[in-house]
Amino acid sequence: MDERKKKILQAVIDEYINTAEPVSSSALVEKYELKYSSATVRNELAELEKNGYLDKTHTSSGRVPSEKGYRFYVDELVKEDDISLEEMKYIQSKLSTKVNEIEDLAKIATTTLSEITHYTTVAIGPKPEKQLIEEIKFILLGNRMLMIVIVTDSGLVKETIIKYDKDVLQSQIETLNNLFNTKLKGKPLSKIDKPMEEYILDEINYSIDVIKPIIDQINRIVEEADKIYLEGTNRSFDLPEFKSLELAKNFVNVLDEKEVMLDILDSGVAKDINVYIGDENDKKELKDFSVVTFKHSIGDRELGTIGIIGPKRMNYSKVISVMKYISKRINQDKQNEKKDNKEED
């Protein structure tokens, strides 16, 4: 693939990303200031097609990128700094709103990503099994409301409330705090299984009416911990590929399938941006879409995954640039915060 071919391929894909219409040789010459005639470009296009980088929708149509074409584009032609100063500033301002829960930070990042790229974004937190319980705390609100707070090593805080029909005593709270902490501290955030439940029941002789709700609620917290956060679903409806309501519905359905989304976000390498184009996706439901994901982290600790789902002709340059920037910012800012703390110790 010589330079001229690369340049033309890039132009075709850039143009197609913009217009969503098959690209003609003359349009390329006009808009991309190629110093060749349309005939020459046509010859090159024919060859690019022969080599599998481009397709046609019908014999006399303009060219459309093939998946191989997109792959080449992503690997070789993408601009990784396709981000403006305004955008950087906007991201910074968003991320620096004082948030106190890691989860909020991830949400803000996800929302911001969707705002800037105009694509639908998704996020999941760290796998529950990978998080260790740092503290579990029982707190009495009023006389009959029991609040349970679980803090994990990654800084996640989860809480729930139980309302009892009878007064709860402060002494009971102490006992609960002691028992659950000695038993769960340092353990991964996973459901309380039968043996553990029995152990607990054995250990304290509170009635099952007291204990059962606690166990249920803790299990609920764990379950909820891998909730999926979706942002900007609506935005996708503005895309021309969704002019067929069929596709739009299909898209919404994919997003609704929790398992599918989890799998997608779970695969992918840490510390890197992962791009899956069309059929490269494991899930056939996604064969018409592209997915770009990255795991964000603070230092070595993975904090979750954020992904973008959009048409195959998504603006990879912009998406990748913005993701890189957000990723860097999260890591850097938070690491600094931590360092600040350390220094004061």
Partner DNA sequence: ATTAGCACTCAAAAGAACGAAGTGCTAATT
Partner DNA sequence: AATTAGCACTTCGTTCTTTTGAGTGCTAAT
Q: Which residues make up the interface to a copy of itself (CB under 8 A)?
A: 98, 100-101, 134-135, 137, 139, 141-142, 144-145, 147, 149, 151, 155, 157, 159-163, 165-166, 213, 216-217, 234, 237-238, 242-243, 245, 248-249, 252-253, 256, 337, 340-341, 344
Binding site for DNA (CB under 7 A): 21-27, 35-40, 42-43, 45-46, 49, 56-63
Q: Which is nearer to a copy of itself, 132 or 252 (CB)?
A: 252
Contacts 24+ apart (CB under 8 A), 193-196: none
User: Which of the listed partners (DNA, a copy of itself, none) does 177 bind, with a CB threshold of 5 to 8 Å by partner kind?
Assistant: none
Element housing 17 (H / E): helix 3-19
Nearest approach, Cβ of residue 101 and a copy of itself (Å): 6
Q: Which is nearer to a copy of itself, 153 or 203 (CB)?
A: 153
What are the structure tokens assigned to 8, written together? Answer: 């033309």
Element housing 23 (H / E): none
Give the whole-angstrom CA distance, residue 292 versus residue 186.
34
Give the whole-angstrom CA distance, residue 42 versus residue 339.
58
Q: Which is nearer to DNA, 49 or 280 (CB)?
A: 49
Spatial CB neighbours of 84, under 8 Å, sequence gap ≥ 6: none
Helices 316-344, 102-117: axis angle to 10 degrees equals 150
Q: Which is nearer to a copy of itself, 79 or 185 (CB)?
A: 185
Nearest approach, Cβ of residue 56 and a copy of itself (Å): 27
User: Which of the listed partners (DNA, a copy of itself, none) does 165 bind, with a CB threshold of 5 to 8 Å by partner kind?
Assistant: a copy of itself
Give the whole-angstrom CA distance, residue 83 versus residue 61.
33
Q: Which is nearer to a copy of itself, 199 or 237 (CB)?
A: 237
| CA–CA distances in Å: residue 65 to residues 69, 163, 266 | 5, 59, 28
Nearest approach, Cβ of residue 165 and a copy of itself (Å): 5
User: Which of the listed partners (DNA, a copy of itself, none) does 208 bind, with a CB threshold of 5 to 8 Å by partner kind?
Assistant: none
Q: Which is nearer to DNA, 33 or 344 (CB)?
A: 33
User: Which of the listed partners (a copy of itself, DNA, none) does 147 bind, with a CB threshold of 5 to 8 Å by partner kind?
Assistant: a copy of itself
Give the whole-angstrom CA distance, residue 125 versus residue 305.
6
In the three-class reduction of DSSP (H, G, I as helix; E, B as strand; rest coil), residue 299 is classed as coil
